[in-house]
Amino acid sequence: PRPILLTRHGESMYNVRGRIGGDSVISDTGELYAKKLANFVEKRLKSERAASIWTSTLQRTILTASPITGFPKIQWRALDEINAGVCDGMTYEEIKKNMPEEYESRKKDKLRYRYPRGESYLDVIQRLEPVIIELERQRAPVVVISHQAVLRALYAYFADRPLKEIPHIEVPLHTIIEIQMGVTGVQEKRYKLMD
Ligand code: F6P
């Protein structure tokens, strides 16, 4: 069995301000997580010479990966967060107030709702296909450092969760979800590195 480790980036400045999307850097708390993650990964994958670290192309995942040494890092655009289009950079409150119809339609059908000039969860699920194919082909462990919506979709694929649940799966910050792909099926462990 070989593990796939899934984690969100460390807390970003946009997370602190409750803003969605963007390309902000990580906070001091986020940097602390990056260090703890590096420690964890270096111990957990010590003798795994072929392991690799996959990030999105956004700063917050690249910065979260940066303290990890000894493994190749690969950036995937397909691992970027859901594109919130015209709502990028807004808070949920602002969307509710300034674009109430958008807010309501997303609430009604979060899976299919597509942000104007942006993406839906279904779009994200579709663009993840090449990532999933590559993850399935890997024989060595992979650490995936990505974002909330993307990780919901990846997790659902490996944990075999139904499509309709995807937008609501809990993927908290500062937590590693370890998935073990064995002959007997899939096993899962969660490591919360900060409280
Ligand atoms: O708030 C962090 C974030 O990653 C946003 O960038 C993104 O729009 C959001 O989470 C996705 O979660 P939800 O689909 O629940 O809005």
User: Known catalytic residue: 9?
Assistant: yes
Residuewise pLDDT in 10s, the chain (195 residues): 689 999 999 999 999 999 999 999 999 999 999 999 999 999 999 999 999 999 999 999 999 999 999 999 999 999 999 999 999 999 999 999 999 999 999 999 999 999 999 999 999 999 999 999 999 999 999 999 999 999 999 999 999 999 999 999 999 999 999 999 778 889 999 999 998
If 0-12 CB within 10 Å is exposed, 13-18 middle and 19+ buried, where does residue 154 land? buried
Q: What's the 79 CA to ligand 1 centre distance in angstroms?
A: 13
Strand-pair partners of 190: 177
* Residue of 19, 147, 152, 174 marked active site: 147
Q: What's the 151 CA to ligand 1 centre distance in angstroms?
A: 11
Q: Hey, which bits of the chain come out as E strands? A: 2-8, 52-55, 73-75, 142-146, 175-182, 185-192
As a whole number of angstroms, the distance between CA 12 and CA 89 comes to 13
Atom of ligand 1 nearest to the CA of 8: 4
Atom of ligand 1 nearest to the CA of 110: 14
* Residue of 19, 60, 106, 152 marked active site: 60
| 134 HSE (CA, 13 A, CB side) | 15
Q: What's the 77 CA to ligand 1 centre distance in angstroms?
A: 17
As a whole number of angstroms, the distance between CA 7 and CA 177 comes to 6
Q: Token pair of 165, please?
A: 């649940």
* pTM metric for this prediction: 0.97
ipTM exceeding cut-off 0.95 for this assembly: yes
- pLDDT (0 to 100) of residue 184: 82
Label the pairing between strands 185-192 and 175-182. antiparallel
